[in-house]
Chains A and B, each alone.
Chain A
């Protein structure tokens, strides 16, 4: 890919920053540092190992504008999502919408400025871009010992009267010792836009953050998100990412297991059709003894879709008794679909249990015939087998309302996807 396309695109984002910097809310020292990093490094390109399988060219070829204040009625879009009846924070084009939101009682939530959080980023170019242009976000603080239930974090994207827009929300979640929260994200929208959220999650001792993510962006949308989760002793970051929307998408999750017996689940399912491209990239850093990570990543690809999974497990010398597991399985429903899968293990401790596996296959003809021979029509039989394939990733979701919501999103995806 032409480096100049990427550079030109980066210049566009920098020009927007130059024009708006005096008007941005929040910590402008941090923002300036982000802008400085972005000015020096630009967008990630294909020469970087971490970006070999996901080319940002289609993104770089699109000129993105600042979101305008939408006059159109977005509440219809919200209704169409059939959200579970739970407290919610709604962001339109990356800006908090008080009228569409319903705040939970007794929980500290701040909006109106980016929530940069306290986790040092790792030099990610996409994070620098976010830091430079972030306008808004939610800072959610759960006090020690509190079970905060479930909060929905909804992002609705829309182009500005036909012009592509980009937005860069920045959220920070902090869980005090022994606290619990389920954060359920739903990303959706219409038209061409670029959603570039960054979420930091600090999880104290014995705290649990369940992070459920439903990415069902508009077919023309770009979604590049990054999560940093830092987990203290006996804490848990339990995440599941469903990707079925967007034209070009990448979800990056960096989990840092910083205290003994900390645990991370980074499960995902990607269902892609047509010419969709979606990438799930994870890094798990085992930085303390007896930490555990589990990753079950399932891809269902049809049409000319391309899926990517990159999973890196780093085990520091101190992290003895680490238990790391990673499994990536792909169901290819068409000859033209493609999966790139890259596991990476870097282990510096000598007493660890780490395993990874990868399978790629088609729907099993014997299984299909078995179901049909019992009277199940072919399309239903395929659905049953695809759902069964996803079950290892979906079934562990303990949140019934969100699991049901995701199941309906999957059913709707399948109804729209071209039969191979």
Chain B
């Protein structure tokens, strides 16, 4: 599904990713953990196509596409979804219209039939109910006046409606209380299937109690320094990043 090979990238004059190798097979959920400043968010932005980063080496293939050659909207239509660490507010843009525009843009790009307003609302209401979200979420402007938890739930709602093949969750747990965390985790777990992969980026092991990963990778200093099973997350929680980083050095 996702195959990253010797990826090097950064911003002007500063290399942040120093050769990342990572494979996320179809149907698996992988976690990337790492200390602050290790390059976790940079990796998620580069995979989703944000401007402002220079890729200086390596490749990233997604479902047979050369990801780094594609516009953000092409990546989305191909099935990539980034759940933002800081979801963006869009004043004046209605959430329901936003979601339908996004879904139909992706469907159009894939040559599929667009959903009319009635069909879309039926789909959206069902997902909202499943995620224990308030109905008025659809009527409000995108993320405007949402609490931190509501914003993250809105990300999960978008993911549930857009049905990506690969979801990257960038510190989705930050700023969430335990109830919101469970709802977000349930939303991700509901999508788990042999056709769905996820890359869960987090600083804390807590989220991984609810979204149990198939593999855990430790990102430090712009490299994956260790990979292992779910137990690696517990080891990090118990011993801290310093011990793992020192051991790898």
> A-side interface residues toward B, CB under 8 Å?
364-367, 369-378, 380-381, 384-385, 387-392
Contact = CB atoms under 8 A, between A and B. Distances in A.
Contacts of B135: none
B15 interface: no
Interface string B60-99: 0000000000011101110001101001111111000010
B105 A366 contact: no
A369 B77 contact: no
B88 A388 contact: no
B51 interface: yes
Contacts of A371: 90, 98, 102
Nearest to A387: B92
Contact of B88 (A367, A380, A392): A367
Contact of A380 (B72, B89, B101): B101
Q: Which of B72, B84, B162 has the most CB of A within 10 A?
A: B72
B144 to A, nearest CB: 10
A384 B72 contact: no
Contact of B76 (A367, A373, A380): A373
A406 B157 CA distance: 33
B172 interface: no
B158 interface: yes
29 contacts: A365-B51, A369-B50, A369-B51, A369-B72, A370-B90, A371-B90, A371-B98, A371-B102, A372-B71, A372-B72, A372-B76, A373-B50, A373-B72, A373-B75, A373-B76, A374-B98, A374-B158, A375-B73, A375-B106, A376-B101, A376-B102, A376-B105, A377-B73, A378-B73, A381-B73, A384-B93, A384-B98, A387-B92, A391-B92
A366 B90 CA distance: 10
Contacts of A377: 71, 73, 105
Given A367-B88, A378-B71, A388-B91, A373 B82 contact: yes
Contacts of A392: 92
A71 to B, nearest CB: 47
A20 B14 CA distance: 75
Contact of A389 (B76, B81, B87, B92): B92
B48 interface: yes
Given A369-B50, A372-B76, A380 B105 contact: yes
B34 interface: no
B39 interface: no
A375 B75 CA distance: 8
Interface SS of chain A: helix, strand, loop or mixed? helix
Contacts of A372: 49, 71-73, 76
Contacts of A373: 48-50, 72-73, 75-76, 81-82, 84
Given A369-B88, A378-B71, 8 more contacts: A367-B89, A372-B73, A373-B75, A373-B84, A374-B76, A376-B73, A376-B102, A384-B93
B88 A370 contact: yes
Interface in B37-56: 48-51
A372 B77 CA distance: 10
A374 B102 contact: yes
B117 interface: no
B109 A375 contact: yes
A222 B191 CA distance: 59
A380 B109 CA distance: 13
Nearest to A381: B73
B165 to A, nearest CB: 13
Contacts of A387: 92
B102 A375 contact: yes
A375 B114 CA distance: 13
B145 to A, nearest CB: 15
Contacts of B49: 372-373
A172 B89 CA distance: 45
Contacts of A365: 51
A387 B101 CA distance: 14
B205 to A, nearest CB: 27
B88 A366 contact: yes
A373 B76 CA distance: 6
Contacts of B72: 369, 372-373
